[in-house]
Amino acid sequence: MLPHMPFRTVMATTCAVVACAFASAAGCATRGPSGEPPRVPEAPLVDAGPPDTGAETDAGPPAPRGNTRIRGFDEAKKLLVRLYLDHSPKRDVYCGCPFGAEPGRGLRVDLLACGYTTFRDRERAERIEWEHAVPAAKFGRTFVEWREGDDRCVDGRGKRFRGRSCARLASPAFARMEGDLHNLFPAVGEVNGLRGDLPMGLLDGPEAPTAKGPIHFGQCTSAIEGAVFMPRREVRGDLARAYKYMDAAYPERHILDDAHRSLFDGWDAEDPPDAWELERNRRIEELQGNGNPFIR
């Protein structure tokens, strides 16, 4: 027994030491060097980084967070139909063609009103499709499920598959990224199909693999030349800000190289957000839970 200490005091002290020892031992497996328990969010999309105060700093706007609310592309399309029918000017992104809903036929494009000339597929040209500004294949190939498949990706005949279908099935992170509303725009279906996953804007970009084009669409001023998709001038800022958002929100996917970053910075400056882009961003933030900080 310790000198000059009552028995009750010694026992209380001993119990506290023992309890502390047990607590420390239990915490060894769950606490990092800082003593704080590590945060392990489900299927993280980006490093959360410092607290987002919403204020800009000398380094620029705060880093955006990616989509964590919308579970996939199908859910995103349903939300976008209502958003565009209820609130937008109802014009497609690449040609400025008006569109509207037809019962049983979805969103239909008025090609005559915008002087659109069909390249080869009038049926597809007459419908609106939801275009990924950053092509799904661009970021999809960074997912192992897209490249190599997954044990869950087996069809009814027992044959394994990979690619976009497997990534949707086996990777919640890919599904949420594919459904990110900030990257989705209404487009004339034919233009969407011909653009595919072509890079945007640079005629001599390093990822332009084949010669394709020129392809023009009548009075629509978007075009394809030299395996590069060149959007009309009026929306280049919109598309640049979508690219910059996706690159910042999902940095592990390495979406922008230096050449395109410089190009899109120029487009961003030359074509600032208009009233609809600001309103679209506000409404997407309500639906998805995060805004695009490059729209300001």
Q: What is the chain's pLDDT, residue by residue, as a tens digit (296 residues)?
A: 444 444 333 344 433 433 333 333 333 333 443 444 333 333 333 333 333 333 444 455 555 689 999 999 999 999 999 999 999 999 999 999 999 999 999 999 999 999 999 999 999 999 999 999 999 999 999 999 999 999 999 999 999 999 999 999 999 999 999 999 999 999 999 999 999 999 998 665 544 445 555 899 999 999 999 889 999 999 999 999 999 999 999 999 999 999 999 999 999 999 999 999 999 999 999 999 999 999 99
Q: Using CB atoms within 10 A of its CB, is residue 243 exposed (0-12), middle (13-18) or buried (19+)?
A: buried
Long-range contact set of residues 46-53: C-beta below 8 Å, sequence gap at least 24: 46/249, 46/250, 46/251, 46/252, 47/251
Angle between helix 258-270 and helix 236-249 axes, rounded to 10 deg: 130
Side-chain half-sphere exposure of 5, counting CA atoms within 13 A: 11
Distance CA 281, CA 276 (A): 8
Which pLDDT does position 21 carry in this prediction?
37
Distance CA 185, CA 139 (A): 17
Q: What is the SS3 string spanning 165-218?
A: HHHHHHCHHHHHHHCCHHHEEEEEHHHHHHHCCCCECCCCCCCCCCCCCCEEEE
Which pLDDT does position 41 carry in this prediction?
35
